[in-house]
Amino acid sequence: MTPPRSSVDRPEPASAGSGPFGVGGAGVGPVRTQHVVVATAADPLELDCGRRLGHVEVGYETYGRLDPDGGNAVYLCHALTGDAHAAGIDGVTGAVGWWDALIGPGRAIDTDRWFVVCGTLLGSCLGTTGPTTADPATGRPYGLDFPPLTIADQARVHRRLCRALGIDRLHAVIGPSVGGMHALQWFLDAPEEIGRTVLIASSGRLTVENRAFSAAGRQAILDDPGFDGGRYLERGGPGPVVGLAAARRFAHITYVSGGSLQRKLGDAPPSPWPPREAADWLAPGRAIERYLEHQGRSFLDRFDALSYLYLTRPMDDFDPFGEQAAAAARSAVQRNPAARHRVISFDSDWRFGADHSRALVDGLRAAGALDVSHQELAAPWGHDAFLLEVDGFPELIAESLR
Amino acid sequence: MTPPRSSVDRPEPASAGSGPFGVGGAGVGPVRTQHVVVATAADPLELDCGRRLGHVEVGYETYGRLDPDGGNAVYLCHALTGDAHAAGIDGVTGAVGWWDALIGPGRAIDTDRWFVVCGTLLGSCLGTTGPTTADPATGRPYGLDFPPLTIADQARVHRRLCRALGIDRLHAVIGPSVGGMHALQWFLDAPEEIGRTVLIASSGRLTVENRAFSAAGRQAILDDPGFDGGRYLERGGPGPVVGLAAARRFAHITYVSGGSLQRKLGDAPPSPWPPREAADWLAPGRAIERYLEHQGRSFLDRFDALSYLYLTRPMDDFDPFGEQAAAAARSAVQRNPAARHRVISFDSDWRFGADHSRALVDGLRAAGALDVSHQELAAPWGHDAFLLEVDGFPELIAESLR
């Protein structure tokens, strides 16, 4: 059941290699994900739920060189099912990093200038400690014995990774989608560590509709008999493959725009239609149906249901500018009011679109941040636009770092 | 596995009984669904797939009295998981009809004036022949041996029901959602039979995004081991309960507006949060989660997975004004160009919203229809608004019949 390491969601690969979109320059070449232990029994990770983890290992990659004064570090917070492999070509699997087109010498995130760090999220199945890794107390996969997580818990692990690498301040923290939540939370927890944030297609608080989609996906997994109380890994069952594939297919629909589906997959039914047999009639024969079928099945090969639960749930609870948290946000921002915050949305994103970005801007400004701006880019791809070729996006990222 | 008969989808009951919304008047009182055989071995139903059904029984209800000249018949085409029980109180179950607030003496569809007929769709599990009924050839439930269906096949059964009741022309055919597809198809198949259509929150062609949601739901059912090749009814298994509940939950999200979810179900997480145990953390504890959980589970009690497949698939293929069908639509409309077509949409409907209604208007006009109008109503409920209390809606329905 351990899924192979893999690159992030990418409905259409961004152009990689020698001709990245918008900004030129060479790639970072062959890379290999490293691992580092960031919490131990002597220095455990305290979690918001009141429990602690006495062993946390993080998968990470770095590109470029850290300046002697440590002033050129840029941290990337990846999206939901992404991982540390943000750039370059994995030396073993050959997988291209999920933002390879944007990262490298001369690229938008110029590794001749910046030292780029990306670590896999706490709770993921892609190289960092999570519910699929072995519980040191039992030697078996944690399953549901892994503690509940918050966005702040996950951001704390990003910070520990930086400390382990000798980085105590960040020129910038960049996060697309849920990664933007981690970037923002990190800033609010340690504002003096961060010079600027770049929050891309992200949100400061899910809508109830966002949470509904997420909840229906989790429920499909939890209801699947293959979930087996979260013990499928150690018991060797198939896992909740029906529920996870269903969750992924529906989630995927929310990651793309209706317009891009229409353009790419708006084919007519096979002819003659309808066929005589119901099995043929109901089979996923149209382009959109084959596409979704593939989205579900391929996700099973690279991601795990427990991690899907553990990574989606914290997003529901994120509300840094809500009534409960507003005072803390104000006092945090006052510790570094001049930090720069660039918020970017895509006009076809109906998951975390402009409303979400505007709420982030409003929340930061209300908390006292002085340098907050919002750019909306035209892109036909919906939420996934941050992974794809969008006019002006590389330039905007490059400019956000300058 | 046979689900109990029940009323249609109703996230919030419309007010029923003595105080219906907008238009006053009394209800139709106690009713009972009747059944009639509309196809026999001697007079089989020929289907678009090339097969035929030698026995079709239809569940139906009528309200009011047919005028001696037969000129006051109004047919209601119900929505996806609705049924013939449109009005009154079922004498046995006590269930209130799905449009009770609109139907009765003095109500919007005034049964002192109109003879109202509503029949359950071919392929449904709620009283009309479908994949869950016994195949006369074997005595066992059809399952996937039931033939593929089209919107036109289903409309043909509505027509046969009318013939069986001695009705050969309709003052109006009214259809919300997929019911509007049946109403329109019926008009195109037999334009001289129909004086006017009222197409509510309906569509002349699904978007690829519409089809994506539908396909992901069907796939969840087909992938569920409980589906058992469609033989779960005769084999007595639990059926694809995980897949069907998941399909329903996601579909339900598309039936309601984000705004109404936000207003009704935008609660904070339980406190303290997060809890210490992942099982508590992941359980559906928030209002939106309990709501979706209920939507899925209650659907299992009243609907069947095979019927869900058989009723959703025909919508994918409906395209009466598409390239293949445009000439036929033109020649049909020429046989009754003066028929009146009223198209109604709701401003918060993101499933079959104004774009769909405008495309219906354009299609009808391009085919030569002379009396086509479109009204958009303000309603916060999303697609399900046609089942709920909407200012001006009863008056618009009443006016559509005058």
Domain with B146 in it: what CATH number? 3.40.50.1820
CA distance linking residue B197 with residue B185, whole number of Å: 10
In this structure, are residues B74 and B109 in contact, taking their beta carbons and an 8 Å threshold? yes
Asked whether the beta carbons of residue A296 and residue B219 sit closer than 8 angstroms, the reply is yes
- Ramachandran assignment for A271, one of left (phi > 0), alpha (psi -120 to 50 degrees), beta (any other): beta
Q: How is chain A split among helix, strand and coil, in percent rounded to 5?
A: 40, 15, 45
Q: Considering Cα of A318, then A320, then A326, then A328, what sign does the dihedral take?
A: positive
Q: What is the DSSP letter of A298?
A: H
Q: What is the pLDDT of residue A11?
A: 37
CA distances from B123 to B154, B305, B330 (A): 8, 11, 29
Question: Nearest Cα to B360, choosing from B311, B313, B312, B318?
Answer: B318
Nearest residue of chain B to residue A311 (CA atoms): B282
Flag whether pLDDT at A375 surpasses 90.
yes
Q: Is residue B216 part of a domain?
A: no
Tracing tokens 């923002």 back to the chain, one arrives at A184
CA gyration radius for chain B? 21
* A130 chain-B contacts, CB cut-off 8 A: none
Q: What are phi and psi of A115, to 5 degrees?
A: -100, 110
Which residue among the candidates A349, A356, A357, A384 is catalytic per the annotation? A349
Kindly state the tokens that stand for B106.
């003095």
For A96-145, give the secondary structure using H, E and C.
Answer: ECCCHHHEECCCCEECCCCEEEEECCCCCCCCCCCCCCECCCCCCECHHH
* B289 chain-A contacts, CB cut-off 8 A: 211, 215, 219
Span A241-249, average pLDDT: 97
* A242 chain-B contacts, CB cut-off 8 A: 220, 223-225, 242-243
Q: Is residue B121 part of a domain?
A: yes
Q: What is the largest CA-CA distance in chain A?
A: 73
Q: Is residue B226 part of a domain?
A: no
Question: Nearest Cα to B212, choosing from B241, B181, B247, B257?
Answer: B247
Between residues A26 and A33, the one the model is more confident about: A33
Q: What is the pLDDT of residue B25?
A: 66
In this structure, are residues B274 and A150 in contact, taking their beta carbons and an 8 Å threshold? yes
Between residues A2 and B332, the one the model is more confident about: B332
Asked whether the beta carbons of residue B317 and residue A213 sit closer than 8 angstroms, the reply is no
Task: State the complex-level ipTM.
Answer: 0.91
CA distance linking residue B54 with residue B135, whole number of Å: 10
Could you tell me the residue range of the domain that residue B200 belongs to? 30-207+319-401
Q: What are phi and psi of B379, to 5 degrees?
A: -155, 135
Q: What is the least distance, in Å, from the CA of A305 to any CA of chain B?
A: 13
Which residues, 6 or more positions from B94, have their beta carbon under 8 angstroms from its beta carbon? none
Q: Considering Cα of B49, then B50, then B54, then B58, what sign does the dihedral take?
A: positive
Q: Is residue B294 part of a domain?
A: no
Per-position pLDDT tens, chain B of length 402: 333 333 333 333 333 333 334 455 679 989 999 999 999 999 999 999 999 999 999 999 999 999 999 999 999 999 999 999 999 999 899 999 999 999 999 999 999 999 999 999 999 999 999 999 999 999 999 999 999 999 999 999 999 999 999 999 999 999 999 999 999 999 999 999 999 999 999 999 999 999 999 999 999 999 999 999 999 999 988 899 999 999 999 999 999 999 999 999 988 777 788 999 999 999 999 999 999 999 999 999 999 999 999 999 999 999 999 998 999 999 999 999 999 999 999 999 999 999 999 999 999 999 999 999 999 999 999 999 999 999 999 999 999 999
Asked whether the beta carbons of residue B273 and residue A218 sit closer than 8 angstroms, the reply is no
CA distance linking residue A392 with residue A389, whole number of Å: 9
Q: Is B383 among the catalytic positions? A: yes
**Count of domains observed in chain B:** 1
- Ramachandran assignment for A17, one of left (phi > 0), alpha (psi -120 to 50 degrees), beta (any other): left
CA distance linking residue A205 with residue B126, whole number of Å: 41
Span A286-312, average pLDDT: 97
For residue B259, how far is the Cα from the chain centroid? Answer: 24
Q: Is residue B96 part of a domain?
A: yes
Q: Is residue A157 part of a domain?
A: yes
Question: Nearest Cα to A154, choosing from A183, A116, A195, A193?
Answer: A183
CA distance linking residue B377 with residue B386, whole number of Å: 10
Nearest residue of chain A to residue B296 (CA atoms): A216
B interface test, pick of A48, A132, A208 with most B CB neighbours within 10 Å: A208
Q: Is A7 among the catalytic positions? A: no
Q: Is residue B362 part of a domain?
A: yes
Q: Is residue B69 part of a domain?
A: yes
